[in-house]
Structure 1
């Protein structure tokens, strides 16, 4: 073996050693990270710091934009006809522009609409605790309660856990309404790919809905 072959062999061995050390360090670092079981987005910071920083931007106050922005402005005052259009509905009482995910629960809790009787199902898209409460109470059980029955049990707006797996941050569906609707169309939810889930995780809450009148 000449000197040139020896140098190439040593270079290859060095690269292999560096890759092994990096892989071992990454594995040990991953093993030391805490398991994620809660819905508090701050619990996700250590494992997914970039995602957490991105989430915190939904709490920023950057004013109104063409798509709403961070200002919860009065949409009834913006267009007085809406008050007439929503007559008989709680949206005629107060209808403010939605802010970022960080504010989803607190804005709902402070809304004048929730000072009147509202169904417990209203938390479905405004509280990260919703999936756990559905698992505890059942889908029908949650909707059988009043909003006030659940008010003290919800503390976080839309959180990382609403759309992401705590192990690898992959996209997941957590809301039964969408899952049931897809299955009713013979769509295998477990077979959905990442590209499909990119839109469907948003559709869990960003969707138009129609409620049947009683009877």
Structure 2
């Protein structure tokens, strides 16, 4: 059985092949040229597989380094403990690479390892943005402090509803009038438009039904 074919099926997305995005790197210990999948390619792959997915990453300062922990979730709605995979990485300052931020490096490394743990890049020798001559993938050593801050949650910004969408929601609110029990405001509007005006004046806007009736009334006046 060809194990490479099995690995290629993990997190398969129709029409997407991560292979062209892999880059070559040389293992300085063996001199062998291998393939590495950059973190940005992993993230793009993850977004294709889980459009509503979430990547949570947090970094805290340690002794001469930063410690980052990343978690990946199939959905942004998933509770904090229901993650798909998790990884921790520590990175310190490099004198020969002064432009490299150890905080960002640790975060990027943690995300790359977490995504690899979740199956995004298992078919490659390495996944993530690394400097193979100076570091290797893995978790923090035992003398590194564990993160103490709560995990960051990247919630998508709520989209403001259009007037039509707000009207549609208002129409679905149940009518409080006994005569029209079991009907929505939208249904009552077709039967007795005056009833909507009565509800709008009877119930304050602070109540859901009052706000809905007032919106329907005002929308009708603007459209007249």
> Same-fold call, TM > 0.5?
no
TM-score, with structure 2 as normaliser: 0.24
Larger radius of gyration: 2
Greater percentage in strand: 2
TM-score, with structure 1 as normaliser: 0.25
